[in-house]
């Protein structure tokens, strides 16, 4: 499909720079199967679910993947910013770096501040390779747990560029950009629909008879990248590692067989569930990478309801929700959201997408 079909005008003021407080006070636009729209709040989510429905959340934990430093060893020492996107082994990471043109294989980048307490005060990495799509392989001077601790000491939350370009990340983001379900470290972007949840809302959902299950998809920085090609068929998704246990798969299949609906919290949960689903909708245990790219025409097999944030124009995530509820419906929903003051993207409001029962 043409990428420009997924374009729309988004005022800069619509992008949220801070989350709602409390988290579940965010607005929630309900998009019903017939396209009808209703304005609610996230705290009212239990009213839209039924006993036996199963909520699936992503329990990945965001690492402090944003590193700032300078190139050393040459006459000039330009500033370098790196976002870690994929761990390769105990000492090597793939990273998106800017300005990438300032680096060549063999260069050394010194991250951190010599005056900051981080082992020796800083962390060195050699540029091992540069990829075709701008990614760089960094070989760090520390290994394993020592490297993890160094990154935690000097790193900052990898806020999306749409937020980071408008304000400097601060200590609040370390907590704000993490869901209450975060347990398994490895993401460099938050599964943002999960940011709306609070213990009180989880208790209300369980009181309603709704099950809650945890799966893991380590969200990569590819979620920030715009679709630059003119046709969606030419876009290449970055692979992300995910896991669904046998116990969780069995519980979801049992619930669905008795009429319960599968409710994906976020596009990350949805993509992992759909990656693990057989043709008949049965969810299989999963432990692998997935690069699933969902656009209109895709036949959803596992997920019945999607809770997600509002996404940017021409993004793979807006393409996904358009596949789920229809492009025309989502354009109307987004136009309503913009006109009604809904807040977009990672720290923004939510929409609940309902599909007709099969």
Greatest Cα pair distance, the chain, in angstroms, is 69
**Beta carbons within 8 Å of 51's beta carbon, 6+ residues apart:** 208, 209, 210
Say whether the peptide bond before residue 22 is cis (omega within 30 degrees of 0): yes
Walk me through the domains of the chain, giving residue ranges and CATH numbers.
3-62+174-354 (3.40.1780.10), 66-155 (2.40.10.240)
Could you read off the pLDDT of 146-186 as tens digits, one per residue? 998 999 888 888 888 788 888 888 889 989 999 999 999 88
Backbone dihedral angles phi then psi of residue 6, each to the nearest 5 degrees: -105, 20
Look at residue 95 and give its three-state secondary structure: strand
Share of the chain above pLDDT 70, in %: 96
Model pTM greater than 0.85? yes
| d(C-alpha 165, C-alpha 66), whole Å | 14
| d(C-alpha 156, C-alpha 174), whole Å | 8
With a cut of 70, say whether residue 224 has pLDDT above it. no
Could you read off the pLDDT of 270-279 as tens digits, one per residue? 999 999 999 9
Could you read off the pLDDT of 243-258 as tens digits, one per residue? 999 999 999 999 999 9
CB 43 within 8 A of CB 27: no
């Amino acid at each position: 499909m043409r990428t420009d079909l997924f374009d729309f005008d988004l005022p800069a003021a619509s992008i949220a720079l801070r989350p709602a407080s409390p988290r579940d006070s965010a607005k929630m636009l309900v998009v019903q199967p017939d396209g009808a729209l209703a304005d609610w709040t996230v705290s009212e989510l239990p009213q839209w679910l039924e006993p036996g429905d199963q909520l699936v959340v992503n329990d990945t934990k965001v690492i402090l993947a944003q590193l700032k430093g300078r190139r050393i060893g040459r006459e000039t020492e330009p500033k370098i910013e790196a976002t870690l996107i994929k761990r390769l082994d105990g000492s090597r990471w793939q990273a998106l770096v800017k300005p990438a043109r300032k680096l060549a294989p063999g260069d050394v980048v010194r991250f951190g501040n010599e005056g900051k307490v981080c082992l020796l005060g800083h962390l060195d990495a050699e540029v091992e390779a540069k990829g075709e799509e701008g990614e760089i392989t960094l070989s760090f001077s520390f290994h394993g747990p020592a490297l993890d601790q160094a990154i935690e000491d000097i790193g900052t939350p990898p806020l999306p560029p749409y937020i980071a370009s408008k304000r400097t990340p601060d200590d609040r983001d370390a907590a704000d950009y993490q869901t209450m379900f975060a347990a398994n470290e490895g993401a460099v972007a938050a599964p943002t629909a999960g940011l709306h949840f609070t213990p009180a809302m989880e208790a209300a959902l369980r009181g309603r008879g709704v099950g809650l299950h945890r799966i893991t998809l380590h969200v990569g920085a590819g979620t920030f990248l715009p679709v630059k090609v003119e046709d969606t068929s030419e876009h290449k998704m970055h692979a992300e590692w995910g896991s669904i246990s046998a116990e969780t798969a069995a519980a979801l299949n049992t619930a669905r067989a008795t009429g319960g609906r599968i409710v994906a919290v976020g596009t990350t949960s949805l993509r992992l569930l759909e990656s693990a689903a057989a043709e008949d909708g049965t969810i299989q245990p999963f432990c692998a990478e997935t690069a699933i790219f969902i656009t209109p025409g895709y036949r959803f097999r596992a997920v019945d309801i999607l809770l997600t944030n509002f996404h940017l124009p021409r993004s793979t995530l807006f393409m996904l929700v358009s596949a789920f509820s229809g492009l025309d419906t989502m354009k109307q929903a987004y136009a309503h959201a913009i006109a009604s003051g809904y807040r977009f993207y990672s720290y923004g409001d939510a929409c609940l997408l309902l599909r007709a029962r099969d």
